[in-house]
Amino acid sequence: MQSRTIRLRLSQGLHARVAVRVVKVASRFTSKVVLVVGERRASARSLMAMLMLAAAMGATVRLETEGPDEREALEAVAAILAPGPGR
């Protein structure tokens, strides 16, 4: 299992457009990809589940991946949630 903690710097937090990109990218991998905000967990393959996290700008999100391509999945989804240098 791989995990990474990310602080959302997206001005609108985890909004629909970003969540759709996460779903598309996570669906390319066979590994399980989960986002955790506080006590709430959401599959990165479920748009509604991610939106229900209500992760605003500045929220801390733990990204967890598990499976044969977990490292690649982690890097790909992290690049969407924390774009640019200093992820």
- Catalytic residue numbers? 15
In which order are the strands placed within the sheet that holds 32-37? 2-7, 60-66, 32-37, 40-43
Report the alpha-carbon distance of residue 11 to residue 4 in Å, rounded.
Answer: 20
